[in-house]
Amino acid sequence: MKKIKLEIVGLHYSQTQTGAYALVLGEAKGKRRLPIIIGGFEAQAIAIELEKMTPSRPLTHDLFKSFADAFHIAVTEVVIYNLVEGIFFARLVCENTEGGIIEIDARTSDAIALAVRFDCPIFTHEFILASAGIILDDENADTETPSTPESTGLTEEEEEALLAEATGNEFQRKSEKELEELLNTALRDEDYERASRIRDELNKRKTG
């Protein structure tokens, strides 16, 4: 399956969704943007590396990089290979000194935090961009990728629109029973950012 290269356009904190960040990826040779909702810890991990900052103590992703370096393992690329019910799935393509290739599943946010540390390319497939990608108008699409990760190069209203598109009103279309099941799944998977957003939607319905 043909792979499409993506570049990090920026990170944006939502003023309307508590604790939510939009990681915006852009098609390397196109106008489409792929917004992905991630948690605060992963957003921080990505931003720190993009800004070339050195934390006082290694973050988890830094530890992974040091561990891999010590055993001569490189992450050669990250592939966002699937999208199911608003959740992106990614894998790390790793190579050792003997030329062996191993693919490891990872959360997309973790995979990209590692991609910036290993300085490796990020790819996805056409069906994912066709399903979740957003085409910007010509004026914004021609804007150069910003140098700082906190900015997407878009207006605040456009960034919020990207964030809304990323969530796709996923939870609003679910029944309360379905939301409860999703909440239990998120808690079991320790995906607390997603659990928080589901709980917010449930609370909004109960108080609305």
Long-range contacts from 61-69, C-beta under 8 angstroms, 24+ separation:
61/110, 61/113, 61/114, 61/117, 62/117, 64/114, 64/117, 65/114, 65/117, 65/118, 68/94, 68/118
The whole model's pTM is what? 0.69
Domain identity same for 112 and 188: no
Domain identity same for 103 and 184: no
The CA distance from 145 to 152, in Å, is: 8
Phi, psi of 155 (to 5 degrees): -70, 165
Domain assignment of residue 41, given as a range = 3-167
Q: Mind listing the pLDDT tens digit for each residue in 41-62?
A: 888 899 889 888 888 888 899 9
Contact criterion met (CB below 8 Å) for 42 and 194:
no
Q: Mind listing the pLDDT tens digit for each residue in 118-152?
A: 999 999 999 999 988 888 654 444 443 333 333 44
Q: Mind listing the pLDDT tens digit for each residue in 136-194?
A: 654 444 443 333 333 444 555 555 555 555 554 456 667 888 888 888 887 887 776 67
Long-range contacts from 97-105, C-beta under 8 angstroms, 24+ separation:
97/72
Please state whether 150 falls in left (phi above 0), alpha (psi between -120 and 50) or beta.
alpha
CATH for 70: 3.10.690.10
Helix (H) or strand (E) holding 201: helix 192-207
Domain identity same for 201 and 133: no
Q: Is 60 exceeded by the pLDDT of residue 2?
A: yes
Contact criterion met (CB below 8 Å) for 164 and 183:
no
Domain identity same for 160 and 198: no
Domain identity same for 185 and 112: no
Domain identity same for 153 and 54: yes
Of 85, 107, 108, residue with least CA distance to 170: 85
205-to-12, 27, 74, 175 alpha-carbon distances in Å: 27, 37, 47, 10
84-to-76, 89, 131, 132 alpha-carbon distances in Å: 25, 8, 11, 11
* % of the chain beyond a pLDDT of 90: 38
Domain identity same for 103 and 138: yes
- Kindly report the three-state secondary structure assignment for every residue of 87-111: EEEEEEEEEECCCCEEEEEEEHHHH
Report the chain's mean pLDDT, rounded to a whole number: 81
**Who's near 204: CB < 8 A, 6+ residues apart?**
none
Of 65, 86, 103, residue with least CA distance to 193: 86
Q: What share of the chain is helix, strand, coil (3-state, %, to 5)?
A: 40, 30, 30
What is the total count of domains within the chain? Answer: 2
Amino acid 39 reads G
Domain identity same for 113 and 181: no
The pLDDT of residue 82: 95
